[in-house]
Amino acid sequence: MGRFKPNRAGYAALMGSAQVQSLIDAKAEAVKAAADEGMSEGGYESEGHEVKDFQGKLARGRVVRTKTDQARYSEAKHKTLSKALGAARG
């Protein structure tokens, strides 16, 4: 067995592939949907979170973040976005 030598170009190509990007999109949308659902426990339908693209050093990714004051309050008091991260595992 030799030493592991990382291949940055290969990693960037893999992470930028359509299959991986679609998987990342699906997971980000699942987290957003779970966070929005957790925020609307009182019967109100509210879309307080958004999925934003970002470009890292090696690959593109997605960030789910709050976009309204109500969502920020819900995260501070009830951790709706933090709890929704489990939705990406399923």
The CA-atom distances, in angstroms, between 73 and each of 30, 42, 45, 79, 81 are 21, 14, 16, 9, 11
Q: pLDDT digit string (tens) for 12-62?
A: 999 999 999 999 999 999 999 999 888 766 556 678 899 999 999 988 999
Question: Residue 56: phi, psi to the nearest 5?
Answer: -85, -175
Q: Higher-confidence residue: 34 or 87?
A: 34
Please list the alpha-helical segments (H only) found in the chain: 8-15, 18-39, 69-78, 80-84
Indicate if the alpha-carbon torsion angle 9, 25, 47, 64 is positive or negative. negative
Q: Which of 63, 65, 56 is nearest to 15 (CA)?
A: 56
The reported pLDDT for the residue numbered 20 is: 95
